Chain A
Amino acid sequence: MLSAILMFSGLGAAFGLLLGYAATRFRVDSDPVVDQIDSLLPQTQCGQCGFAGCHPYAEAMANGDADINQCPPGGEATIQALADLLGRDPKPLNPEHGEEKPKLVALIDEKTCIGCTLCIQACPVDAILGAAKQMHTVIESECTGCELCIEPCPVDCIDMVEVEQSLDTWQWPYPSTGSSIVSDAA
Chain B
Amino acid sequence: MSRSDPPLWRFHGGLKLSGHKSESTGLPVTEPPLPQRLILPLQQHIGRPAEPCVSVGTRVLKGQLLAAADGYISASLHAPTSGLVESIEMRPIPHPSGLSAPSVVLRSDGEDQWIDGLTDQDSAPLDAIALRHRVRAAGIVGLGGAAFPAAVKLNPGPQRILEQLILNGAECEPYISCDDMLMRERAADILSGAGLLCRALGVARCLIGIEDNKPEALAALEAALAASPNPGVEVRRVPTIYPTGGEKQLIRVLTGKEVPAHGIPAEIGIVCHNVGTALAVHEAMTLGRPLISRYITVTGQGVATPRNLEVRFGTPVSELVAACGGYTERADRLIIGGPMMGFALATDEVPVVKGSNCILVASNQELPQPGPVMPCIRCGACTEVCPAGLLPQQLYWYARARDFDKVQDYSVFDCIECGCCATVCPSRIPLVQYYRYAKTAIWAQEREKEKADLARQRHQFRLERQDREKNERAARMSKKRAALEVSDTGSDSKKAAIEAALARARAKKAGVRSDASSTAAPESARIPETADDRARTEKP
Measured CB to CB, the residues of A under 8 A from B are 25, 38, 41-45, 51-56, 124-127, 141-142, 144, 165-167, 169-175, 177, 180-186
User: When the two chains form the complex, which single residue of A124, A142, A173, A183 contacts B454, counting CB atoms closer than 8 Å?
Assistant: A142
Q: Are B456 and A181 in contact (CB under 8 A)?
A: no
B9 is an interface residue with CB less than 8 A from chain A: no
Given A171-B444, A175-B437, A184-B374, A125-B99 contact (CB < 8 Å): no
Top 5 closest pairs, chain A to chain B, by CB = A184-B375, A43-B455, A171-B440, A43-B452, A125-B458
- Within 8 Å CB of A172, what residues of B? 96, 433, 436-437, 439-441
A55 to B456, CA, bound (A): 9
Closest A-chain residue to B462, C-beta based? A126
Closest B-chain residue to A164, C-beta based? B99
A109 CB to closest chain B CB (Å) equals 22
Q: 13 extra interchain contacts, Cβ-Cβ under 8 A, other than A42-B448, A144-B451? A: A38-B456, A42-B452, A54-B456, A142-B454, A167-B93, A167-B101, A169-B447, A171-B444, A175-B434, A175-B437, A181-B372, A181-B373, A185-B375
Q: Are A124 and B459 in contact (CB under 8 A)?
A: yes
Closest A-chain residue to B372, C-beta based? A180
Given A167-B95, A174-B437, A125-B374 contact (CB < 8 Å): no
A54 to B99, CA, bound (A): 35
B43 is an interface residue with CB less than 8 A from chain A: yes
- Within 8 Å CB of A45, what residues of B? 455, 459
A41 to B444, CA, bound (A): 16
Chain B interface size range: 35 or more
Closest A-chain residue to B441, C-beta based? A171
Residues 444-476 of B contacting A (Cβ, < 8 Å) = 444, 447-448, 451-456, 458-462, 464
Given A38-B456, A43-B456, A169-B447, A184-B376 contact (CB < 8 Å): yes
- Within 8 Å CB of A124, what residues of B? 459, 462
Q: Are B375 and A182 in contact (CB under 8 A)?
A: yes
- Within 8 Å CB of A125, what residues of B? 455, 458-459, 462
B125 is an interface residue with CB less than 8 A from chain A: no
A56 to B441, CA, bound (A): 29
- Within 8 Å CB of A127, what residues of B? 458
Q: Are A142 and B95 in contact (CB under 8 A)?
A: no
Q: Are B540 and A52 in contact (CB under 8 A)?
A: yes
Contact flags B76-116 to A (C-beta < 8 A → 1, else 0): 00000000000000000101110101000000000000000
- Within 8 Å CB of A175, what residues of B? 430, 433-434, 437
- Within 8 Å CB of B454, what residues of A? 142
User: When the two chains form the complex, which single residue of A43, A126, A184 contacts B373, counting CB atoms closer than 8 Å?
Assistant: A184
A146 to B464, CA, bound (A): 20
Q: Chain B CB within 10 Å — which of A43, A55, A141, A181 has the most?
A: A43
21 contacts between A and B (CB under 8 A): A25-B464, A38-B456, A42-B448, A43-B453, A125-B458, A126-B461, A127-B458, A142-B455, A142-B458, A166-B99, A167-B93, A167-B99, A170-B99, A171-B440, A171-B444, A172-B437, A174-B437, A175-B434, A183-B375, A184-B373, A184-B427
Closest A-chain residue to B460, C-beta based? A55
Closest A-chain residue to B431, C-beta based? A175
- Within 8 Å CB of B43, what residues of A? 167
A185 to B372, CA, bound (A): 15
Given A52-B540, A144-B455, A170-B97, A182-B372 contact (CB < 8 Å): yes
A56 to B463, CA, bound (A): 12
Q: Are B372 and A56 in contact (CB under 8 A)?
A: no
Closest B-chain residue to A41, C-beta based? B452
- Within 8 Å CB of A54, what residues of B? 456, 459
Closest A-chain residue to B434, C-beta based? A175
A30 CB to closest chain B CB (Å) equals 14
Q: Are B437 and A165 in contact (CB under 8 A)?
A: no
A171 to B441, CA, bound (A): 6
A44 to B451, CA, bound (A): 10
Q: Are B375 and A126 in contact (CB under 8 A)?
A: no
Closest A-chain residue to B465, C-beta based? A126
